[in-house]
């Protein structure tokens, strides 16, 4: 281990954060980190459960004086979003995350950091390893595949959990206590791809770069450009002005991340090359104007494809692909009238992928109102019907509704006021955390809250976490646990 974080406080927390950063743990690749947690529990002679989904539950008795206190669940997820810059050489299946410190922040090098949600694991492991922290009985619950549809939480057997107080450590702003979140569903719009021999012999890649992207729930209100939707506008415009063939469209890498990049390979006749280049320059100017506040670095350009492109979409496939890019719902759909500034419903066209026989359009739909979530899903189904495409929906998870009588929330508020001399902010977010599912799995009487230290630019290669905030929120967590007797 590189030991980059060895001098940081709290020492145990950062020690384990660096240790787990050495273990690849992208969604669907959690076996190694799950086994690590099991071995960790066994080394500390604690009861541990690893279920078939690879979720891990570690049970630690209360310390002296807390033996009969109510059991508290400390919860987070193992998996991380694996995003990297185009010029970064990194294999998320095998390579460790390369950490670096910049002032008060920890970054990775050209990749996502994994503080979402590695910091929850680090807090949990530090609690387990400590022998001088007063606390009630603990159940440290770490789930898998949270980032790709909450598969771990869906698979959880509630009978393995005894606690009725749950502290989720998957929030990203210090001083904000999360008490409600959106539910969601994932959709895949499938266009059957039929290919024909290419006739035109000048192949170019249209590329969109320089967008900020971000979390498709937390940053959906920032007005940031969606590379896939932008490509749809460009191709639709080209379709009315230039005779071109379309070989492929590929954009984004995670449906819950606003896509930062998209590429489309087009073929034109020699006499249309200059017109193509001119059109793309025009779009570069349009987008720089439209996105000057949210994505000032946006760049659209064409590059010559040196390899011969032999197959292209037939005309019908080409038109369906372009129409899908234009018509699939995207962005904010409704704003909450009850909570000022809260996005109520949205959808994000996160991934477009050309395969050997299909073009796939993957979206993440979110809403804090169940009926509105299904209304967006119905819109997506209608678009697919009109275009002769197939719409598949999966990973449907419930919203977490506000509990006006939460004793855990009041405790968190009281301790925060005592420690920091000001009130914590109670918030709801337009993003999915697993608490909605835990209500179903653990019973309606489970009392839940979500908090965490300051994280920035999650789900992007610019993700970073505040060192001082990790320290403050660790002390805050310990102070809360000390009060639960």
Architecture per CATH, domain 185-397, reads as 2-Layer Sandwich (3.30)
Confidence of residue 429 (pLDDT cuts 50, 70, 90): confident
Residue 149 pLDDT more than 80? no
Domain(s) labelled CATH 3.40.630.10 in the chain stretch across: 11-182+399-483
Q: pLDDT band for 397, please (50, 70, 90 cuts).
A: confident
**Vertex 332: Cα angle to 330 and 335 (nearest 5):** 160
Indicate the range of 15-19, 251-255, 310-314 predicted with least confidence: 251-255
| Residues 268-299: b if buried by 16+ CB within 10 A, e if exposed | bbeebeebbeebbeebbebbbeebeeebeebe
pLDDT at 1: 62
pLDDT in tens, 24-47: 999 999 999 999 999 999 999 999
Tell me yes or no: is domain 11-182+399-483 CATH 3.40.630.10: yes
pLDDT at residue number 212: 95
- In whole numbers, what is the pLDDT of the chain averaged over residues? 95
The fraction of the chain above a pLDDT of 90, given in percent, is 89
399-416 b/e with 16+ CB inside 10 Å = b?
Answer: bbbebeebebbebbbebb
The rounded distance, in Å, linking the Cα atoms of 262 and 316 is 22
pLDDT at 321 over 70: yes
The Cα–Cα gap between 54 and 383 comes to 37
Annotated active-site positions, please?
Answer: 79, 146
3-state SS class at 375: helix
Q: Which residues pair with 425 in a beta bridge?
A: 176
**Verdict on whether the full-model pTM lies above 0.75:** no
Higher pLDDT, 82 or 404: 82
Domain with CATH 3.30.70.360 in the chain: 185-397
Residue 54 has pLDDT above 80, yes or no: yes
Least confident among 179-193, 392-406, 455-469: 392-406
pLDDT at 60: 98
Strands 138-143 and 214-215: unpaired
By the 8 A CB rule, do 23 and 141 touch? no
Burial of residue 133 (CB within 10 Å: 0-12, 13-18, 19+) is middle
Examine residue 344 and say whether the peptide bond preceding it is cis (omega within 30 degrees of 0). Answer: no
pLDDT at 402: 85
455 — pLDDT class (breaks 50, 70, 90): very high
**Contacts of 261-264 spanning 24+ positions with Cβ under 8 A:** 261/86, 261/207, 261/208, 261/209, 261/211, 261/227, 262/207, 262/208, 262/227, 262/228, 262/230, 262/231, 262/352, 263/205, 263/206, 263/207, 263/208, 264/205, 264/206, 264/231, 264/234, 264/235
Q: What is the rounded distance in angstroms from the CA atom of residue 347 to the CA atom of residue 80?
A: 21
pLDDT for res 433: 82
pLDDT of 148 reads 85
């Amino acid at each position: 281990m590189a030991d980059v974080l060895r001098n940081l406080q709290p020492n145990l927390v950062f020690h384990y954060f660096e240790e787990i950063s050495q273990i690849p743990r992208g969604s669907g690749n959690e076996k190694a980190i799950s086994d690590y947690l099991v071995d960790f529990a066994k080394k500390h002679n604690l009861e541990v459960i690893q279920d078939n989904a690879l979720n891990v539950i570690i049970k630690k008795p209360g310390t002296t004086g807390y033996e009969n206190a109510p059991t508290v669940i400390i919860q987070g997820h193992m998996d991380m979003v694996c995003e990297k810059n185009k010029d970064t050489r990194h294999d998320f299946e095998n390579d460790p995350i390369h950490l670096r410190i910049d002032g008060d922040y920890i970054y990775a090098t050209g990749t996502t950091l994994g503080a979402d949600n590695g910091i929850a694991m680090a807090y949990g492991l530090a609690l387990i390893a400590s022998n001088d922290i007063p606390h009630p009985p603990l159940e440290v619950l770490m789930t898998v595949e949270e980032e790709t549809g909450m598969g771990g939480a869906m698979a959880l057997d509630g009978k393995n959990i005894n606690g009725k107080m749950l502290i989720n450590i998957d929030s990203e702003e210090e001083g904000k206590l999360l008490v409600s979140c959106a539910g969601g569903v994932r959709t895949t719009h499938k266009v059957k791809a039929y290919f024909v021999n290419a006739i035109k012999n000048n192949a170019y890649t249209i590329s969109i770069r320089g967008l900020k992207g971000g979390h498709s729930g937390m940053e959906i209100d920032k007005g940031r450009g969606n590379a896939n939707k932008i490509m749809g506008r460009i191709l639709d415009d080209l379709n009315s002005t230039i005779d071109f063939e379309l070989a492929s469209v590929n954009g984004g890498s995670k449906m819950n991340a606003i896509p930062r990049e998209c590429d489309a390979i087009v073929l034109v006749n020699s006499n249309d090359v200059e017109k193509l280049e001119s059109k793309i320059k025009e779009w570069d100017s349009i987008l720089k104007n439209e996105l000057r506040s949210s994505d000032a670095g946006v760049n659209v350009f064409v590059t010559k494809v040196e390899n011969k492109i032999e197959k292209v979409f037939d005309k019908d496939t080409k038109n369906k692909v372009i129409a899908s890019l234009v018509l699939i719902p995207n962005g904010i759909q409704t704003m909450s009238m009850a909570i000022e500034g809260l996005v109520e419903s949205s959808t994000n066209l996160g991934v477009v992928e050309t395969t050997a026989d299909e073009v796939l359009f993957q979206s993440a739909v979110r809403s804090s109102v169940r009926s509105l979530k299904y209304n967006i899903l119905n819109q997506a189904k209608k678009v697919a019907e009109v275009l002769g495409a197939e719409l598949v929906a999966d990973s449907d998870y419930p919203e977490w509704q506000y509990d006006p009588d939460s004793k855990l929330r009041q405790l968190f508020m009281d301790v925060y006021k005592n420690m920091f001399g000001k009130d914590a902010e109670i918030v709801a977010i337009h993003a999915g955390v697993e608490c909605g599912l835990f209500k179903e799995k653990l019973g309606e009487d489970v009392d839940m809250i979500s908090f965490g230290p300051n994280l920035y630019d999650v789900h992007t290669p610019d993700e970073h976490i505040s060192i001082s905030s990790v320290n403050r929120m660790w002390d805050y967590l310990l102070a809360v646990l000390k009060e639960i007797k």
